[in-house]
Structures are given as C-alpha cells and as structure tokens.
Structure 1
Amino acid sequence: MSLELRINDLESRLAFQDDTIQALNDVLVDQQRLLDRLQLQLAALARRQDEQQNQFGSEDNQPPPHY
C-alpha cells in the first residue's frame, strides 16, 4: 500500500472518529442536563415531603380529642 493511500485512510478514520466523539459528547451533555434537572426535582420532592411530615407529624404527637 502506498504512503498516500495510507495517509488518506488515516485521515478518513480520523474524520469518522471526530464525528463519533462529537456525537458521544452531545449525548453526554444532554444526559448531564437531564441528570441535573432530575436531581433538582428530587431535592424539591424531598423538601416537600419533609414539610408535609413536619406539618402532620406535630398533630400525631397530640392525644385524640376524646381523651
């Protein structure tokens, strides 16, 4: 195989690898954004649950009115 053919083959492979790396990077960025959004939602849900437990938790400690 001539040197020119080898160089052309390597350049072609490099171009495909660059495209693949960019596509993988784009997917990774999208997944990180989704993960960040999900973590924020989970934190909001945890705060909401804590607030509700505190709200209803104080009532559970009191005896029922018929005692």
Structure 2
Amino acid sequence: MTDNTRLEALEIHIAQQQRMIDELSEALALQQKDIERLKAQLHRSDDRIAELEAGLPAAAPEKPPHY
C-alpha cells in the first residue's frame, strides 16, 4: 500500500466517522426534543389528574364487610 493510498483510506475513514457522528448527534437532538415534549405532556396530565381528584368528594370511611 502506497503512502498516497493509505492517506486516502484514512481520509475516507475519517469522513465516514464524521458522517456517523453527525447522524448520531441529530438523533440525540431529536430524542431530547421528544423527551422534553413527553415531560411537558406528563406534567399536564399530572396537573389534570390533581384537578380531577380535588373535585371529587371525600371518601366516606367504609365499614368492613363483616359488620
């Protein structure tokens, strides 16, 4: 393998690694957006459940079935 061929192989390898890093970075950014969206949705759901629970009448103490 000549020096020139070896250098070209290294450049190709570096270019492929850079492309993979860019793709992984993009995937990570999309996942982070999804996580933030899901966190916000969960927070809204938690708030809504708390509102609904606050509107319910207090549960009366029930007698055990054997009384």
Shared fold by TM > 0.5? yes
Match of 2:31 in 1: 31
Q: Which runs of 4+ in 1 moved over 2 A?
A: none
Tell me which of 39, 57, 60 is aligned to 2:58: 60
Percent same amino acid at aligned positions? 28
Report the RMSD for the aligned CA atoms in angstroms: 1.2
1:8 aligned partner: 8
Structure 1 position 55, deviation (Å)? 1.2
Residue 48 (structure 1) aligned with residue 48 (structure 2): yes
Gaps (5+ residues) in structure 2? 61-67
CA distance in 2, matches of 1:36, 1:47: 17
Give the TM-score, by structure 1 length.
Answer: 0.82
Paired positions, count: 60
State the TM-score, normalizing by the size of structure 2. 0.82
Instruction: Specify every segment of 5 or more residues in structure 1 that has no aligned partner in the other structure, as ranges.
Output: 63-67
